Amino acid sequence: MGGEPEPGKRWRGRLGPLLLALAVPFLAGGCWDRVEIIDRGFIAAAAVDAVPGGYRLTVQLVLPQSLPSPGGGGAGGGGAGGGPSVAVLSATGATLAEAASRMDEQVASRLFWGQTRLLIVGQALARRGIGEVVDFLVRNRESRLRTDLLVARGEAAPLMAVAPPYRDIPADNIYQELRKNLAPRLRAFEAAIRLREAGRGFLMPALAVTRPGPSPASPSTGAERRVTLPANPALDGAGVFVGGKLVGWLDGRLTRGALWLEGLGSGGTITLPYRGRPLSVLVERAQVRRRVLLAGERPSVRVDIEVDDTIQEVHEGELDPGRPELLRQLGESLAREIRGRALAALAATRRMGADVYDFGRLFAGRQPAYWRRVYTRWPQIFRSLPVEIRVRAVVRSPGRLVESLQLPR
């Protein structure tokens, strides 16, 4: 403390500015960025449609006060046990931001994009291109880069209004469905990356409303009371995009096939014929190795798929652990099945000229010189790109039951 002034001075010197710095913002009515949590309008999910002259934004706005009370007791909780805890709002504007700000005027709270998990794009808009939507999401400081993008088969807005009673926040339902890894997921940042590269294809999970209608009469309560199963937005295949524009659809089966080529096939159930009866296996693990080959100017791709699985359901037939060739046969037919699906998906996307498997990306990384020559023509090259698919499927386990219960006649 050699050259320090006397203590009193030090005190003032150190704390004075600090206190002043703290006091001034308080007195000046500070806390500029403070927004109380109840003043935030949490957007759980949003849907965007193209309308003449701009966009229509429809959102599910969380109504915290109508969420069921967690402890059961407590005051308030108007919606406890009742309907969904969201309000559906809609607004239009020449840009998405304008629509959002118009919507902001409709509600008391300040719209908040930080908890938005889903953004659904209407079919018409998807055909026009999703660049602006992704731009809005990524540029917005609040929003998540992990917001899942979906494409609606038809208009997107009605999907916001469908509220199956499984969860308090209807959009959560779709989100949980997505999480199960059975669909291609496309997050905002992934879309942004893919949009950045000209002509790149990608898949976007598609959404449609299923209306199962009334259930059959319940036997216990008599014939009169019928339970109506709710309408439910459900995943339904995927939309195929090239350069940010929707160019076609894949149904659920083809979508799974396309996922195989990307190495995302695990977790699903595959049913294949086994001695004339259906047999289901559960895919436990799938590994995909993709290699690009270039012979002169002739590119080709080789995809090696390795699958481990477990038998889930056997209707009839013999599964004798003493006869491993049976399991091997099963593995072979499973491999054929997977290969068939993958090829079907490949054929479908080829027709659309959409390289949704990022084969082009592989060439760009591994064969940069070739890629620089051809990248403008890639969609055409992709249409006729030879793809060799090799599948090796191993049935790891017959499940918790060795033989079929009904032995063959």
Partner 1 sequence: MASERFAPLRREVTRLHQLSDLANEAASLELSLLWELSRHRRLSGHPDLDARLIRTLMGGRGHLTADYAERTVRLPGRGRGRLIWLSSMVETKILDSQIFGAISRAHVEGHAAEAKPVKAVDEAVRLLGEGRVLLLMPGQPPALALAARGYEHRQVGDPQKETSMRGSREAFVEDLATNVSLVRRRVLDPRLRVEPFVLGEFRATEVRLLWIQGLTHDPLVNEMRRRLRSIRLPQILDVRYIEELAADDPYTIFPTALFTERPDTVAAALNEGRLAVLVEGSPDALVLPVTFWSFLQAADDYYSSYWIASFLRLLRIGLALLALVFPALYIAVIVFHPEMLPGILAFYLARTRVSVPFPAVVEAFLMELAFETLREAGTHLPPKLSTSLSVVGALVIGQAVVSSGLVSWPMVVVVSVTAIANFALPSWEMATSVRLLRFALMVLAALFGVPGVLVGLALILGHLCGLRSLGIPYLAPLAPLTPHGLGDTLLRLPHWVPGRRPRLLEPYWKVEVPRGQRPHPPAGAGTFHSPR
Partner 2 sequence: MREDWGLSDLQLLFLSFAVVAPTAILTLPRALALLAGQDGWLAALLALPAGLIPLVLLWDLDRRYPGQTFTEQARQALGPLLGRVAAALAVLLFALLAVVVTREVTDAVHGENLPRTPLPVVVLLVLLAPVSVLRQGIETLARWAEILLPIGLVLLFLLVAGSLRDLHPDYLLPVLGHGWTPIWTGAVQPASFYAKVFALAYVLPFRGDGRKGAFLAAAAGLFAGAVLLALTAAVTVALFGPLAASLPQPVFEAARMISVAEFLAHLDAVAVAAWLALGLTKLALVAFAFVFALADLLQLEEYRPLTLPGAALTGVLAAVEFRSTAEFQIWVFIFWPWVALALCILLPFLVWSGAVLRGRSGRRGRTGGTGRGGRPGRARTAPSPSLPPGGRS
Q: Is 290 strand, coil or helix? A: strand
Q: Under a CB-based contact definition with an 8 Å cutoff, are residues 100 and 93 in contact?
A: yes
Residues numbered 14 to 53 that lie near partner 2 (CB under 8 A) are 14, 17-18, 21, 25, 30, 32-33
Under rule CB under 8 A, residue 146 binds partner 2: yes
Under rule CB under 8 A, residue 176 binds partner 1: no
**Minimum CB separation from partner 1 for residue 10, in Å?**
7
197 binds, among partner 1, partner 2, none (CB under 5 to 8 A by kind): partner 2
Structure tokens at 172: 């959560």
290 φ/ψ angles, rounded to the nearest 5 degrees: -120, 135
Give the N- to C-terminal CA distance of the chain in Å, as an integer: 99
Question: Closer to partner 2 at the Cβ: 122 or 265?
Answer: 265
Interacting span for partner 2 (CB under 8 A) from 37-45, 321-329, 344-352, 356-364: 356-364
Q: Give Cα separations from 407 to 114, 165, 319, 397 (angstroms).
A: 57, 43, 9, 19
Q: Under a CB-based contact definition with an 8 Å cutoff, are residues 281 and 272 in contact?
A: yes
The CA distance from 67 to 244, in Å, is 37
Question: Closer to partner 1 at the Cβ: 53 or 70?
Answer: 70
368 binds, among partner 1, partner 2, none (CB under 5 to 8 A by kind): partner 2
Question: Closer to partner 1 at the Cβ: 70 or 216?
Answer: 70
234 binds, among partner 2, partner 1, none (CB under 5 to 8 A by kind): none
205 φ/ψ angles, rounded to the nearest 5 degrees: -60, 140
Cα 366 to the center of its chain, rounded Å: 29
Structure tokens at 72: 């059961």
Handedness of CA 71, 76, 81, 85 (dihedral sign): negative
Question: Closer to partner 1 at the Cβ: 75 or 405?
Answer: 75
Quick one: CA torsion of 48, 207, 177, 79, rounded to 10 degrees? 60
- The C-alpha angle with vertex 89 and arms to 87 and 94, in degrees rounded to 5, equals 160
Under rule CB under 8 A, residue 44 binds partner 1: yes
Handedness of CA 368, 370, 372, 377 (dihedral sign): negative
Under rule CB under 8 A, residue 242 binds partner 2: no
Under rule CB under 8 A, residue 376 binds partner 2: no
Under rule CB under 8 A, residue 13 binds partner 2: yes
**Minimum CB separation from partner 1 for residue 179, in Å?**
12
Question: Closer to partner 2 at the Cβ: 117 or 339?
Answer: 117
Question: Closer to partner 1 at the Cβ: 1 or 407?
Answer: 1
Question: Closer to partner 1 at the Cβ: 21 or 405?
Answer: 21
For 174-206, give the DSSP string: HHHHHHTSSS---BHHHHHHHHHSTT-EEEEEE
Residues numbered 117 to 156 that lie near partner 1 (CB under 8 A) are 117, 142, 144
- Interface residues with partner 1 (CB under 8 A) are 7, 10-11, 14-15, 18, 22, 25-26, 30-31, 33-38, 40, 42, 44, 62, 64-65, 67, 69-70, 74-76, 85, 112, 114-115, 117, 142, 144, 168-169, 172
- Interface residues with partner 2 (CB under 8 A) are 1-4, 7, 13-14, 17-18, 21, 25, 30, 32-33, 114, 141, 144-146, 179, 187, 189, 192-193, 196-197, 361-362, 364-366, 368
